[in-house]
Amino acid sequence: QKEVEQNSGPLSVPEGAIASLNCTYSDRVSQSFFWYRQYSGKSPELIMSIYSNGDKEDGRFTAQLNKASQYVSLLIRDSQPSDSATYLCAVNGAGSYQLTFGKGTKLSVIP
């Protein structure tokens, strides 16, 4: 059974701070890793993808992957109230479209 674990939160950070979201996965052969943002009542939106060990930066977002530890994280710098949402970690294996999702971490950025 493939599993993706996330702390459900809520994670509260003050505006301007760094928000750190963490995710672990059980399937060692997982190859692709994704972060989705889901606002309340809306569908998930893909915000970051990462495929190799290390960091990947896109604007205020940085995804970090450590395959040896089976760990992926998302850092949000200069957090804004508009970043308040549930963040879903998702993982898939080689040649597979199907994603295994974590249950999501709810982030609240306090003005």
Partner 1 sequence: GAVVSQHPSRVICKSGTSVKIECRSLDFQATTMFWYRQFPKKSLMLMATSNEGSKATYEQGVEKDKFLINHASLTLSTLTVTSAHPEDSSFYICSAGTSGRAGSYEQYFGPGTRLTVT
Query: Which residues of the shown chain bind partner 1 in the complex (CB under 8 A)?
Result: 31-32, 34, 36, 41-46, 49, 51, 88, 90, 92, 94-99, 101, 103-104
Q: Residue 7 or 31: which CB sits closer to partner 1?
A: 31
Q: Work out how close the CB of 5 gets to partner 1 at its nearest, in angstroms, rounded to a whole number.
A: 12
Q: Which residues of 52-68 are buried (b: 16+ CB within 10 A; e: fewer)?
A: eeeeeeeeebbbbbebe
Nearer to partner 1, 3 or 15 (CB): 3
What is the identity of the amino acid at 43?
A: S
Phi, psi of 85 (to 5 degrees): -175, 180
